[in-house]
Structures are given as C-alpha cells and as structure tokens.
C-alpha cells in the first residue's frame, strides 16, 4: 500500500489518486475511508482500483468503498459508472463472479427473551432446512426448462409457487425480477450448475443469522420504526447469499468471450481479469442478458430461503409467520451492473453503474424505491462477521457523490488461508457459544475462515460510511445464532 502521503486527502474520509499516478488512467481513483482504514487496506486495492480507472467510457472516478479489499480484477467494494454513448464498457470482473450476491433482512415480533429458550432448536432446524456449503443442493427439483423460467422471472416465479408474499417482491430491489433476462444467452453448463441450487446458502462468507436489535443500538428510532424495528430487544433474521455456481459460470463464460473480443474493439486493459467489451456490442449485450439471469436466480434463491425461514419459525413457535411479524424489510443486491440515471456535472446521464461488493443506496424520492420508503430512502443492509454485528442504514441525498453506492459489509483483512492458520474452527465455535452465539457450520475449516479477526471492524466501516455521506445509520444488530456454509 502506498504511503498515505501519496494520496491526495480530499476530506477526512475521501482520498484520491490522480490520473498521473499510473499511465493510462482516464479518471482519478477515489477511496472512501478514514485514515485508519486506508492504512489497513492491502496494496492490491490501490493497484486494482487504479486499473479500473483505465476502462473505456468511465465517468467521474473509479471508486472504492470503506470495506474495500482485494478481489478478482476489481477490488471488492469497487464502484464504476460507464457511459454507453461514449464507448462505455461492461466488465464481468467489475461485477464479480457471485452475481447479485446480496443481503436480506426480515423482522419478527419476537423478543430475545422469547427466542432464547428455542435458539438451538431454531438454528439446528435452519441448518437442516437451508442447505449450506460448497456444492450444496436444495429441496426444489427443477428441470432445465423450469430453471430457465426461474432465471427469467426471479422472485415472481416464487410468488406463483406459493413461496413468497406479494409484499416481499415490493421490498426487493428491482421488484425481485430485473427485466431483460434471456435464458438463451446462458450456457448448458451454467444451467447444469445452477438448477439444483435454488434455496441454498452456499459457502464462504455466506450466512444466515438470528440477531437482536437492542434499544441502545437504535440510532434513528423514527426511521427504524418505518423499517419495522419497533420493539426493545427485537429479534430479526439476516442472511447473505447469491447466485451460487450459476452466477460463477455465467461470469466464467463471458470472460472467455471478452478476452477474445477485446482486440476487435481495440481495447487494451492493464489486467486480463478486467476483460470487457463495449456495452452496446453484441458481446456486451449477450453478457448483460445473461448477467440478468443470474440476478434473477439470486433473487429467487433468497426468496426460497425466506420461505424456509418462515416455515422453521412457524414450526418452532407453532404460530403463523404473519402472526410472528415475519415481514421482509428489504433485499439489497451486490455484484451487479445496472443502467441508471445520474446527474454528472449538472447534467442527467444514463450510465451503466457497476457495483462489486457494494450496495445501492438510493436517497429519498428516487425512482425504484418501494412506495413505503419513497420519502425516507432505501434500506441498506451491511453485514458484519458472525462475532460482531451488522447494520441497517438508509440512503441519503449526499450519496449522489458515489452514484448512490455504499459499503456492503465489514470487508476482509486477511486471506482465508491465513485465517485457517490463525484460528481453529472447533475452538471458535466453543468460544462463540460461551458468548451466547450458537453457530452451526458445514466444516470447522470454513468456520475458521470467517473468524471475526479476519474482518475489519464493522463499526469503523459504518462510521466511515456515514461520515463520508454515503448512507446513514439506523440500527445495529448483534448475533445470537448463525448458520455458516
């Protein structure tokens, strides 16, 4: 990591590297973080975000959020917008392999005291009903034709199958189904990898967590109440997962196409992992349609998981999920590229905004918000580690600085290999249980990879996010039960 002195300090939470930093940069690179977070970032973040600044048609700056860390091609936490009318590109490496990896938050009317006696039973049953781990398969048996229907219709498919409430779709980004998905643009191998994974959690940093909103952790009671956080020590459920092997295969297929296509369009990138094509090109449009299929698969995946969660709580408490107040607060997407209208230099422009490990955070009054939240802004869900806590934030007007994008989590500070050397899964599980956090995991090595010490301090990340004007804190949740892949 270059010395902080090499970065131009724009403000207490904004740092910039000019186009002169690296030959070929078309725009500056901007990092949104406190000085402490900047000093703790790995060197790969700077190298990757300045590489992103080389891409054709990029607008304003290549940006990295406070949780930024090294990723494939572009840093996780990266944001970049491209103008399709000025040669702007689309890049799978700037979207990510786990397309539409995202977060969903669900309320209950239960309190911690009511849940505590049933916690082990809840977590054990969730572990049984929501398959987790590498290669895990779900309970839904789909034919290739049926899976094509899923990836074109997303959560709308779940509604038809009786696995969604209409209001779930209203509280999901894009209404749970992004238009323009075309299953003819996805490979047979992608279908084979994805068709048995709907309703599964996956591995890595994907999790399903039972959490508590303590009164002292509610930062804005009025907004929290609008989002359904109204009871002291209220129990909520949060989970994090994406498009599984299907999204990975869509990205893999498209990267190979783009590597071959770049010479045709005269595009040269500093890192082949940022392979791209003009958005308006046939290759660009094919990827865009395929990526939308992965977005919809992920929405369907998270919707089926919500259906399972409601079943589990209903079985344990012998009450209807509606009686338990199991309302969806919101479902936010990471790892996407979307056409959005933003104002740049005082003029509206239609831009393709790539967010990789970054959350959309629309402010009040913006098109695309659920009607219930039009006047207050979009809910933003920021996940922490299983040892610390997570946050609910809200989009604010000043978020326009980053095309209304914000942090998505705490962000890693060490590799998974290093975490496994430093932590032991069985011991970690015992330590967590001693602290009142009951965890079930597919493997102890997978648990060790996700130790709290492998991540940045979630409170520091969220504080930097708020100080930078990207989004505002609403409530913090502490974990009490966790299912890990």
Please give the positions annotated as active site. 408
Residue of 301, 61, 323 whose CA lies nearest to 195:
301
Q: How far, in Å, are 146, 240, 295 from residue 299 at the CA level?
A: 16, 11, 6
Residue 186 structure tokens: 């996805």
CA dihedral 327, 103, 147, 92 (to 10 degrees): 150
Instruction: Retrieve residue 169's tokens.
Output: 């779709």
d(CA 110, CA 314): 12
* Cα dihedral: 453, 456, 458, 463 (round 10): 150
Residue reference for tokens 């992920």: 298
Q: Could you tell me where the beta strands, DSSP code E, fall in 195-307?
A: 207-213, 234-241, 277-278
- Report the distance separating Cα 103 and Cα 485, nearest Å: 15
Q: What share of the chain is helix, strand, coil (3-state, %, to 5)?
A: 40, 25, 35
Which SS3 state, helix, strand or coil, does residue 147 take? Answer: helix
Contact 163, 303 (CB under 8 A): yes
The token duo for 139 is 């309970």
Residue environment code for 46-70, b if the CB has 16+ CB neighbours within 10 A, otherwise e: bbbbbbbbbbbbbbbbbbbbbbbbb
The tokens 């980004």 sit on which residue? 173
End-to-end CA distance of the chain: 32
CB 202 within 8 Å of CB 130: no
Q: How far apart are CA 133 and CA 202, in angstroms?
A: 5
């Amino acid at each position: 990591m270059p010395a902080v002195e090499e970065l131009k300090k724009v403000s207490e939470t904004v740092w910039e590297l000019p186009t002169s930093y690296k030959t070929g940069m078309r725009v500056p690179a901007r990092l949104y973080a406190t000085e402490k977070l900047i000093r703790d970032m790995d060197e790969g973040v700077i190298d990757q975000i300045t590489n992103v600044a080389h891409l054709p048609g990029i607008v304003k700056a290549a940006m990295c959020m406070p949780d930024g860390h090294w990723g494939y091609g572009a840093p996780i936490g990266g944001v970049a917008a491209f103008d399709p009318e000025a040669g702007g590109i689309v890049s799978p490496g700037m979207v990510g392999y786990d397309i539409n990896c995202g977060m969903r938050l669900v309320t209950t009317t239960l309190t911690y005291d009511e849940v505590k006696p049933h916690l082990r039973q809840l977590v054990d049953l969730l572990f049984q009903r929501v398959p987790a781990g590498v290669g895990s398969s779900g309970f839904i048996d789909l034919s290739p034709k049926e899976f094509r229907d899923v990836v074109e219709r997303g959560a709308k498919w779940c509604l038809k199958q009786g696995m969604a409430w209409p209001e779930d779709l209203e509280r999901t980004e894009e209404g749970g189904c992004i238009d323009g998905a075309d299953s003819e643009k996805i490979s047979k191998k992608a279908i084979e990898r994805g068709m048995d994974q709907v309703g599964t959690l996956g591995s890595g940093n994907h999790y399903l967590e039972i959490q508590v909103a303590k009164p002292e952790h509610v930062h804005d009671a009025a907004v929290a109440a609008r989002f359904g956080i109204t009871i002291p020590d209220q129990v909520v459920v949060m989970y994090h997962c994406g498009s599984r092997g299907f999204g990975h295969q869509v990205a893999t297929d498209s990267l190979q196409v783009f590597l071959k296509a770049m010479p045709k369009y005269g595009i040269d990138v500093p890192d082949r992992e940022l392979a791209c094509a003009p958005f308006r090109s046939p290759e660009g449009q094919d990827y865009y349609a395929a990526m939308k299929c992965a977005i919809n698969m992920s929405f369907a995946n998270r919707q089926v998981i919500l259906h399972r969660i409601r079943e589990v709580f209903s079985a344990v408490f012998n009450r209807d999920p509606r009686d338990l107040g199991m309302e969806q607060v919101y479902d936010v997407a990471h790892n996407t590229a979307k056409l959005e209208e933003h104002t740049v230099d005082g003029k509206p422009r239609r831009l393709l905004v790539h967010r990789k490990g970054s959350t959309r955070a629309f402010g009040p009054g913006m098109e695309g918000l659920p009607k219930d939240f039009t006047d207050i802004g979009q809910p933003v869900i920021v996940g922490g580690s299983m040892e610390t806590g997570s946050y609910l934030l809200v989009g604010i007007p000043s978020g326009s600085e980053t095309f209304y994008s914000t942090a998505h989590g705490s962000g890693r500070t060490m590799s998974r290999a290093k975490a496994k050397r430093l932590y032991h899964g069985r011991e970690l599980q015992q330590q967590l249980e001693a602290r009142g956090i009951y965890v079930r995991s597919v493997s102890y090595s997978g648990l060790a990879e996700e130790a709290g010490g492998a991540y940045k301090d979630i409170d520091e990340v969220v504080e930097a996010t708020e100080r930078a004007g990207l989004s505002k804190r609403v409530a913090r949740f502490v974990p009490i039960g966790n299912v890990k892949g």
